[in-house]
Amino acid sequence: MKRPLNKNPLSDFIDFLKTSPKTPPDALREDLFAFVKEELHPNSVKVFFKILVVHLFSGAVTLSFCPQLGWSPYSQSMGIMEYFMAFGSVGCALACGSVFLGMSMAVAAFLLKREEVRVVQEHKLGNISILAAISYGALMLVGGESELLYSVFWVIGGIAGGYLSLTFLPLLKTRLRHI
């Protein structure tokens, strides 16, 4: 039977201090610790798959305004690639790769939990390099065309854009929270 609460919070606190401590059951305690550990230290493989899913969706959106390796499922126009070509083939490759992976990592930086972003940042270069390789391979499989030099600079641009997004955008997200 529950005891009625006092109207005085200090009296309630003193009553609480007088009670004997109770230890929770071991199973409950272990479940709680496992949950807290998973929340504070998420599995890096699970987090990678989350950014892969984010990349699939944001990459699809990016393709609507910036064809990659000459390919877009939405239109035959050059999109913003037309403006990037003003910097030459190498400049275009750097810019296109940067936009493609940079946008994905920007979206991931805002969608993932703080702890997941931390895990991504711990393996930042590896995660982005793997995403760049997967992206390049997938784009080539669906009809992208590229010369070796353009491909190399596209991958370098993708890694740089993703790296910069994951470096600076979580800081912006933190600052926006404090406004």
Per-position DSSP letters for 36-88, written without gaps between them: HHHHHS--HHHHHHHHHHHHHHHHHHHHHHS-BTTB-SS-SS-TTHHHHGGGH
Render pLDDT for 44-88 as a digit per residue (tens, 0 to 9).
Answer: 999 999 999 999 999 888 888 877 776 676 667 677 777 888 888
Q: Give the sign of the dihedral formed by CA 56, CA 60, CA 66, CA 67.
A: positive
Residue 110 to residue 2: CA distance in whole angstroms: 45
In a domain, 11, yes or no: no
In a domain, 20, yes or no: no
Residue 100 to residue 54: CA distance in whole angstroms: 12
Average pLDDT over residues 26-46: 89
pLDDT for the residue numbered 160: 96
Residue 163 to residue 160: CA distance in whole angstroms: 5
Q: Which residues does 108 contact at the CB level (< 8 Å), separation at least 6?
A: 50, 51, 54, 55, 58, 117, 120, 166
pLDDT for the residue numbered 126: 93
In a domain, 157, yes or no: yes
How many domains would you assign to the chain?
1
In a domain, 111, yes or no: yes
Residue 57 to residue 95: CA distance in whole angstroms: 20
In a domain, 165, yes or no: yes
In a domain, 85, yes or no: yes
Phi, psi angle pair for 68, to nearest 5°:
-110, 130
In a domain, 92, yes or no: yes
Q: 64-68, 85-89, 116-120, 159-163 — which is least confidently predicted?
A: 64-68
In a domain, 31, yes or no: no
pLDDT for the residue numbered 29: 86
Task: With a cut of 90, say whether residue 33 has pLDDT above it.
Answer: no
Tokens 């929340």 label which residue?
39
DSSP 8-class letter at 112: S
pLDDT for the residue numbered 157: 95
Angle, alpha carbons 80-86-89 (nearest 5°): 90
Instruction: Determine the structural domain holding residue 142 and report its residue range.
Output: 43-177
Average pLDDT over residues 95-109: 93
